[in-house]
Amino acid sequence: MNMQQMIQAMNKVQRQYEKDKKVLDDKSFEYTANGVVTVTLKGDYSMFGISFADPDVLKEDPEMVSDLIKLAYDGAKALIDKANDELVEKYQKNAAGGLPF
């Protein structure tokens, strides 16, 4: 494979990665903390929604709700981080010679 072909192959891989990354960014990731609060994030980390199993919990213990929202956000973020890591790993393994691009 000559240099031109290698560059074309890498460009093709990069375009496919960008498409896959866009799909990941548009995907929803949901995490529920203690069965009370559910946070939904998009793959780009934007918050898409928050829901409560029992809305009365908002009145009962606002500090706990705040903690659960943080916990649920962190859980959803960890799911996105894992999906991003898996995507990058997939392309690094397929890159020429295993080198990252």
Looking at residue 58, which CATH number applies to its domain?
Answer: 3.30.1310.10
Contact, 37 vs 65, CB < 8 A?
A: yes
The whole-number pLDDT of residue 97 equals: 56
CB contact set of 91 (below 8 Å; sequence gap of 6+): 13, 16, 17, 101
The whole-number pLDDT of residue 49 equals: 96
Q: Collapse the DSSP code of 100 into the 3-class scheme (helix H, G, I; strand E, B; otherwise coil) and give the result.
A: coil
The whole-number pLDDT of residue 100 equals: 46
Q: How many domains does the chain have?
A: 1
Backbone angles phi, psi at 61, to 5 degrees: -150, 80
Counting as low any pLDDT under 50, the low residues of the chain are 100-101
Q: Which domain holds residue 61?
A: 3-98
The owner of tokens 């460009």 is 11
The whole-number pLDDT of residue 95 equals: 65
- The pTM of this model reads 0.83
